[in-house]
Amino acid sequence: MIEYLAHKFGVENKDILSFIIPISIFLSGILINIFVKGLNNHNQRKLTRSLFKINLIKLIRGVNKQAISYDYLQKQIVIDNDNPRSFSSVSIAAISIFQEIRYEDLYKAYFKGIGNYFAFNKKNRLKAFSNFYSALDFLILNHRKSFDEIKVFEDQLHVLQDKRNEALGEVSRIIEDFRFEIHGEKVAKEIGEYFEKIESLIEDYQDKQDYTNPTNTEDYVQALLFLNRNSIDTLKMLENKKHSVLLNAALLESSLRFINLQNYFNSYNSTIKTLSEMFFSQRNVLIKSYRVLFTSRICFRGTACYN
């Protein structure tokens, strides 16, 4: 080969060698550099995929715990639950970690490089990759925000409960004033029977188990209202009609406060139920993305594995 080139160009063999050797070294350097760079890129993509897998598992488990926590809270949001509501706000560090990883780096790790050019099921993998980012976007927007929403609900519930308790306190005060006014006084038979009915309602109410829960109390309020509405002629016989008017007003106010409280509980319950369902839904999206991207299943401690 060297002799042929020397003859072709009319030069000596050593001149051809002095030309070929530097070029060969130069080209070898380029090829080695390309190989090393390609190997480094391959290793970097492999490392990125490993980190992605580890943090995706943590993300799925964190979202699952948060969804379960919302579900548990939702079951406690009922108007007659006197126990303090328990809620665990799960810290999901993987959300912040994924925010720090560039989309381009993850995309290259899965869809660039010789190994990825010949990967099967690329269409489904692209869809799974896109779904992962959709779920991540939902979590970024709603995870921390939901904790603030729960605090607002809880604070407002305390306000509504305090207002209702004030109205109930006013009902009790007026009834006591009524009692004091007629105590030891001669009253018409109808007035006496009216107060006997009030005393009977109070006794029935207080004899109930958990009588202070809102529904039992509202039943008592409605019974008093019914009694008053059916005792108009009797109440007209009272010398001081102010108490009966004030009692009706206080009973109506208390009933209205109960309705407001009940509606707020329903709204709160519905909101948390929706959050729970959405977090379970996003968990399922992430599990499916994991299965497609890593062709494996994920398991939660103490529960079944998800394929």
Asked whether residue 226 carries a pLDDT value surpassing 70, the answer given is: yes
- Residue 86 is assigned to a structural domain of this protein: yes
Q: Is the distance from CB of 251 to CB of 170 less than 8 angstroms?
A: no
- Residue 307 is assigned to a structural domain of this protein: no
**175 pLDDT tier (thresholds 50, 70, 90):** confident
- Residue 304 is assigned to a structural domain of this protein: no
- Residue 78 is assigned to a structural domain of this protein: yes
- Report in angstroms the alpha-carbon separations of 12 from 8, 53, 171: 10, 61, 121
- Residue 81 is assigned to a structural domain of this protein: yes
CA distance 185 to 193: 14
- Report in angstroms the alpha-carbon separations of 207 from 3, 122, 173, 202, 220: 118, 70, 20, 9, 12
**40 pLDDT tier (thresholds 50, 70, 90):** low
- Residue 306 is assigned to a structural domain of this protein: no
Residue 1, pLDDT score? 55
Pick 26 or 153 by higher pLDDT.
153
- Residue 6 is assigned to a structural domain of this protein: yes
Number of folded domains in the chain?
1
Asked whether residue 165 carries a pLDDT value surpassing 90, the answer given is: yes
Is pTM, for the whole model, over 0.85?
no
Residue-wise pLDDT for 280-294, tens only, equals: 999 999 999 999 888
Q: Which domain holds residue 210?
A: 1-295
Q: Is the distance from CB of 272 to CB of 85 less than 8 angstroms?
A: no
Residue 34, pLDDT score? 52
Residue 299, pLDDT score? 67
Note the Cα 87 to chain centre separation in Å. 11
Residue 92, pLDDT score? 92
- Residue 301 is assigned to a structural domain of this protein: no
Residue-wise pLDDT for 246-283, tens only, equals: 888 999 999 999 999 999 999 999 999 999 999 999 99
CA torsion, points 281, 285, 286, 291, in degrees to nearest 10? 140
Question: pLDDT averaged over the chain?
Answer: 83
Residue-wise pLDDT for 92-135, tens only, equals: 999 999 998 888 888 887 777 666 666 667 788 889 999 999 99
CB atoms near residue 46 (< 10 Å):
13
> Which residues, including other chains, have CB under 8 Å from residue 143's CB and lie 6 or more apart?
66, 92, 95
Give a three-class secondary structure readout of the chain: CHHHHHHHHCCCHHHHHHHHHHHHHHHHHHHHHHHHHHHHHHHHHHHHHHHHHHHHHHHHHHHHHHHHHHHHHHHHCCCCCCCCCCCCCCCCHHHHHHHHCCHHHHHHHHHCCHHHHCCCCHHHHHHHHHHHHHHHHHHHHHHHHHHHHHHHHHHHHHHHHHHHHHHHHHHHHHHHHHHHHHCCCCCCHHHHHHHHHHHHHHHHHHHCCCCCCHHHHHHHHHHHHHHHHCCHHHHCCCCCCHHHHHHHHHHHHHHHHHHHHHHHHHHHHHHHHHHHHHHHHHHHHHHHHHHHHHCCCEECCCCCEEC
**8 pLDDT tier (thresholds 50, 70, 90):** low
Asked whether residue 306 carries a pLDDT value surpassing 60, the answer given is: no
